[in-house]
Amino acid sequence: MTGNEIKLKAIAALTGVRGGIGTDYVSSLLGEVTPTEFLVPAEADAAEVGFAMLDQLSGPLSALISGFVMAFEAVADAFDELEPGTSSQEILQELALHLASETD
């Protein structure tokens, strides 16, 4: 799967969540970007196996995060243009303060 195809999956997942699509479908959609099999050296020790798996996961996960960020930036830019009273940056700051004050 290419980087752009993975970014499209991220955008589709966000669109689905906002559109009321079930979480099972969204989870399945996002699960499609992670490898189902990993190639590791036959004589690899545990550290080498972990590194090989991390290396094979990092590309798809990076593209997925990039897709989420790209989608957020597009929505935030549109919001900032249409809603002059409150900026997306202020909303994010309020969210951060709320999360920081919560206990797990």
| pLDDT score of 85 | 85
pLDDT in tens, 74-85: 999 999 999 888
What is the residue-wise DSSP string for 43-85?
T--HHHHHHHHHHHHHHHHHHHHHHHHHHHHHHHHHHHHH-TT
Low-confidence ranges of the chain (pLDDT < 70): none
Q: Which two three-digit tokens encode residue 94?
A: 């309020």
Q: Using one digit for the tens of pLDDT, what is the confidence trace for 4-15?
A: 999 999 999 999
Amino acid at 19: G
Q: What is the pLDDT of residue 16?
A: 92
**pLDDT of 15:** 93
